[in-house]
Amino acid sequence: MEPHVANVGIATIQEPVRGELDQAFDRLQSIATADFPLIDDVNAHLQRRKGKMFRPTLLLLSARSAGTLTEREIVLSAIVELIHLATLIHDDSVDHSVLRRGQPSVNAQFSHEIAVIMGDYLYSRAIHELVLLDAREPLRIMSRVTNELTVGEMREVVAHDFLDFSEDDYEQLIQAKTASLMSGACEIGALVSGDTYREPLKRFGRYLGMAFQITDDLLDYTESEAVTGKPAAQDLREHKITLPLIAALPNMTAAERAQVEALMAHPDPSDDLIATVIHAVDQRGGIAAAREAARAFALRAEVELACLAPSPAKDALLAGIAYAIARRH
């Protein structure tokens, strides 16, 4: 069964909170500003490419569909995006990735040292802002989430044995590194309803995040750099084991497994070897299985929204599910 909403672009999903989202972006810029030239050079570099603002969109739509959206939620959504940005800066440094959002990553444009410090700077600015807001529950949620993010990143760093990395391990990893923040964004938005919608929206964000990350991992197999704004097949190049490979492995021939083994053993696998493994993963059903897994999480996300009263914001959250699994970048 397909989630029953049509495929739409991010701009349509953002429609019910367009004005608030623009304010959140302005707010994000002013929170990030520092009285220090190098930090502002990095800020200027980062702000050249805005990003999809998907997490603040989730927070604002959750708030609007659960109750009344106020100035406080706008600031909270800016904080969530800042934390996301900080994690991406660190992640690109950890991954040695040179491209993000179609432009050089901070580690590539500046240095790894600057990427580490800038990630810390933005993260600490975000936390400071939460304290200034006196936002106790959001602070509780975000401190748990950021802790989970770091453990997720650590899980990924050590996950290199492709024969010993199960689908369960993978789910635990993407829960920690992606679903946790989306879930936290939705939960913070839902706080406008007290506890009424808190748990269902928290779960919605989690399932949506799982579907979103599985799709992200699929795009690494299926799309070019020109489409995603990130290097193609970067995961395999870095020996990252994601669902398409995990699902295909049991169906592979001994020769195909040997090619996977060769790729994983090579510090800098050739484009040919990568293309061969991608082909085998597709042939052995890995791409189809990952698509199916994303769809299954999307359906679970949809079920969680049933408790909300009809509204344009709820429709946009539903459309967000379709976006998470149908996007190409």
Size of the site for ligand FPP (CB under 6 A): 17
Residues in touch with Mg ion (CB under 5 A):
91, 95
- Residue 3 or 184: the one with the smaller Cβ distance to ligand FPP is 184
User: Six-digit token pair at 11?
Assistant: 């701009």
146 binds ligand FPP, rule: CB under 6 A: yes
Q: Show the site string, 168-207: x = touches ligand FPP by CB under 6 A, - = not.
A: ---------xx-----------------------------
User: Six-digit token pair at 93?
Assistant: 């440094």
List of residues 6+ apart from 161 with CB closer than 8 A: none
Residue type, 297: F
212 binds ligand FPP, rule: CB under 6 A: no
Residues 138 and 76 sit within 8 Å (Cβ to Cβ): yes
Residue sitting closest to ligand FPP (CB): 90
87 binds ligand FPP, rule: CB under 6 A: yes
Rounded-to-integer distance, Cα 212 and Cα 295, Å: 10
Closest CB 89 distance from Mg ion, rounded Å: 11
Binders of ligand FPP among residues 92 to 131 (CB under 6 A) are 94-95, 97, 119, 123
User: Six-digit token pair at 216?
Assistant: 């992200």
DSSP 194: T
Q: Which one, of 240, 244, 230, 237, lies nearest residue 270 by Cα?
A: 237
Q: Which one, of 74, 72, 75, 71, lies nearest residue 31 by Cα?
A: 75
Q: Show the site string, 45-84: x = touches ligand FPP by CB under 6 A, - = not.
A: ----------------------------------------
- Residue 97 or 107: the one with the smaller Cβ distance to ligand FPP is 97
Residues 115 and 105 sit within 8 Å (Cβ to Cβ): yes
Give Cα 67 to chain centroid, integer Å: 26
Q: What are the beta bridge partners of residue 104?
A: 99
Binders of ligand FPP among residues 223 to 262 (CB under 6 A) are 230
Which residues are at the interface with ligand FPP (CB under 6 A)?
Answer: 86-87, 90-91, 94-95, 97, 119, 123, 146, 149-150, 152-153, 177-178, 230
